[in-house]
Amino acid sequence: SQHQNGIKWENRKISDAWDHFEQLADETTGEPKVICKHCSKLLTHPNVKRSGTSTLSRHLKADSCCKDQMTQDLPQKPTNEVFNQSLWEELLLNLITATGVSFSMVESESFKELIQCLRPDGPELDIPSAEMLRRLIDVKIQERQQSILAQLPEGKRLSIALDCWTSPHSQKFMAITGYFIDNDWNYHEVSLGFEPLIDWYTGDPLSETKLSEIAIQILTEHGIADRVLSITTNNASNDNALMAGVQDAMLSQGLRDASIFRVPYIVDVIELSLNELLGELKAVPENEAVEREWSDERTQSLLLRCSTRKHRITDTLDKVRGLAIFVNSCGHCMEEFIALQPNGRKLLPIQDVRSRKNSTFLMLNRARNLRPIFDQYCRTHPQFELGQEEWRQVDYLLSLTKRFFEISNILSKTRDVLVPHVLSIYNVLFRHLDDAEIKLKRKAVPWKKRMLRALGAARNKLEKYYVAADTESYGTLYGIATILCPSKKLEYFDDPNWRGGGIDRKKHFRNMLQEEYTRYQQLFPEIETGKGLSPLDLLLYNDRMRTTVDFEPVFEIREYLNGGLNLGNPRVFWKESEKHYPILAQMARNTLPIPASGAGVERLLNCARHICHYRRERKGPRKIKRLMLYMFSSKFELDEGHFNMLEEYISDGEAAMIDQLRNPLPEIDDLDPISDDEEAGWQEEDAASDSQDDQETKRKLRATQHGKIGLKREGVVV
């Protein structure tokens, strides 16, 4: 064909990327293609556009390629490695941790017969006992943790995050994670502990005092108790006593240099604000797990409620949720729904779950993208049918919640320093709420006015934590981290609106930076300030030091702040500028990894939810601890192989939700939800029934406006 004539199929392939692809031609058009050996994805042949193999290399590194997801960060066996007892034991551990089977499996006769069958002519393998494997996994865990901690630079510090978590089987654990930047300015996460919160002798929950002792004990065992810069928790009330106990324990051991930051994780603040929005709309799901059963009684109840109340947001959500439960309740319903989809798509509706973040957005997003299928399916199942007004409610809800989802989803996938961006994240959310509020204030339809009230509730929750930065220690942390971000520096606070509440925050954070700089000079007197300066600058600098009374060596700060903005990665900037700004670089190395976002802990606990899935066999707390520390010592995420094995336990709806979280979010076609010409047609009785809600809306909005003090949101003082 014409396509094939331009391709020299037999040319020698030099790039290693070709080892992962096969050449072929489209059977219909003859167009040259390549197919990935790992994920079977078809790509245009590089020679068609003379683009080289860069496209192939990018594909191999992409999350969508199974090769990257299944093999990255897993132990690799060298081609010349000889099979031996040590390798055999490690393979056994990988098998047990990946599948979740009992350690005692290796002692069963069936397992021994299987191994003998695989090596009929080879020497008999020494199968370790279950107890030996338990001891071995503890050794491997310690080796992995120490291997990561060995990269912590000498004399430098790390930050710790503590978070308490309850499994679907009501087992309580405390996750302890560490974060630091090494000598090459690489960012590291390490799982230090995943401790069961139970008294092994009595079975009772541990007291807060005992929890703090466990935390200190783990830090001491790793040899880092005196190298902790900060300990961060979320803002949950049950963590306050724990943090107080940790602080007292550290002070009692003479570790007085550690700062205890009770920082509200930004991912938790986003969730709290979103829940306030959904709560005002009575849209928060009540179910803790995906439901898989439907009954005729539920159908009749849905029909009855929808016939007596019109255009209620709760009714719309009940229909979307009901359809998701109904379709996923049996194979016949799923087949019927899938058969309506073109091009072989096999997407299923999703039910939201109280325990999974952003699940209501994911449910509505899937419904909106499958709207033609929903409408067609409901011709035979009219109890779930959504009218035009109800689909507009879906559009509005998506518009209001999408920004929350986008930010939290990006944070959960980010494996780099985030604390310099916390203030910017707040500002993005406030701008989103401001824009939506301006549009909704012009609306008269009752359900739209309820959404306006919901925006006010979300704003109030967000402001609670944002304004608290004026008085809490984490406010100083946010400010200094923002200044140490080369793309922000002090210019971030240039806007005069930052002076709300009678405080010049640019001056305030500049002084905080100076105080911290002076403290670091005292901590690291061996560092030569001005080491990267030119000979003339250094001569003038030293002369001023000798001749000026009470001279403060702020040359670094002034030089850095006057150096203009740099839009690159902060770690790359400080790696290149460490010699020129040695004290500031030390501050950046310690401050930037502080886990103020909570993203690392969130990823780790998501892994724990899958390991302890409520449909899987209940595991003992010691085994859960071993699995978590062995599988996620440095990479807080499940690989593709583990997700595939989970499909045996999770429902189709849960699998669909996980896929939406892991894959790029599909665009919502032509979504323009908040417009100015949709007020016709709403019913007077709806307005009358909601008059009390309208009065409450006005009251809360007045309270919100009256309370605007303190920090500034890029143009709007709050």
Per-residue model confidence as pLDDT tens digits over 478-500? 999 999 999 999 999 987 667 55
Q: Are 67 and 38 in contact (CB under 8 A)?
A: yes
| Amino acid of residue 119 | R
- Please state the domain extents for the chain: 2-71
Whole-number pLDDT of residue 410: 87
Asked whether residue 509 carries a pLDDT value surpassing 70, the answer given is yes
Q: What is the mean pLDDT of residues 403-427?
A: 89
Q: What is the mean pLDDT of residues 498-520?
A: 83
Whole-number pLDDT of residue 94: 86
Asked which of 191-195, 470-474, 529-533 is least confident by mean pLDDT, the reply is 529-533
The string of pLDDT tens digits covering residues 657-678 is: 455 545 555 555 455 566 655 6
Q: What is the mean pLDDT of residues 400-423?
A: 89
Q: What is the mean pLDDT of residues 579-597?
A: 91
Q: Are 225 and 253 in contact (CB under 8 A)?
A: yes
* Residue 137: closest CA among 172, 171, 103, 183: 103
Whole-number pLDDT of residue 337: 92
Q: How confident is the model at residue 270 (pLDDT cuts 50, 70, 90)?
A: very high
Q: How confident is the model at residue 79 (pLDDT cuts 50, 70, 90)?
A: very low
* Residue 650: closest CA among 345, 348, 283, 319: 348
What's the CA gap between 398 and 387, in Å, rounded?
Answer: 17
pTM: 0.74
Mean pLDDT of the chain: 77
Q: What is the mean pLDDT of residues 427-451?
A: 91
Q: Are 508 and 516 in contact (CB under 8 A)?
A: no
Whole-number pLDDT of residue 613: 65
Q: What is the mean pLDDT of residues 108-117?
A: 86
What's the CA gap between 210 and 199, in Å, rounded?
Answer: 10
| Amino acid of residue 716 | V
- Residue given tokens 């200044």 in the structure block: 483
105 CB neighbour count, 10 Å cutoff = 15
The string of pLDDT tens digits covering residues 35-77 is: 887 777 788 888 776 667 777 877 877 766 754 444 444 445 4
Q: Are 483 and 592 in contact (CB under 8 A)?
A: no
Whole-number pLDDT of residue 1: 43
Q: What is the mean pLDDT of residues 392-409?
A: 93
Residues 6+ apart with CB under 8 A from 55: 43, 44, 46
Q: What is the mean pLDDT of residues 360-383?
A: 93
- Residue given tokens 């005069």 in the structure block: 496
Backbone angles phi, psi at 126, to 5 degrees: -85, 105
Whole-number pLDDT of residue 603: 78
- Residue given tokens 């810069």 in the structure block: 229
Question: Which residue would you say has higher pLDDT here, 368 or 295?
Answer: 368
Asked whether residue 597 carries a pLDDT value surpassing 90, the answer given is no
The string of pLDDT tens digits covering residues 116-132 is: 887 766 667 788 899 99
Asked which of 512-516, 522-526, 714-718 is least confident by mean pLDDT, the reply is 714-718
Asked whether residue 372 carries a pLDDT value surpassing 90, the answer given is yes
531 CB neighbour count, 10 Å cutoff = 12
Whole-number pLDDT of residue 570: 95
Sheet holding 228-232, edge to edge: 187-196, 172-181, 158-166, 228-232, 259-261
Residues 6+ apart with CB under 8 A from 661: 358, 362, 409
CA angle (406 as vertex; 400, 407 as ends), nearest 5: 105
Whole-number pLDDT of residue 63: 61
Whole-number pLDDT of residue 243: 63
The string of pLDDT tens digits covering residues 625-667 is: 888 888 887 665 544 444 444 444 445 455 554 555 455 555 5
Asked whether residue 370 carries a pLDDT value surpassing 50, the answer given is yes
The string of pLDDT tens digits covering residues 121-176 is: 666 778 889 999 999 999 999 999 999 999 999 888 899 888 888 887 788 888 89
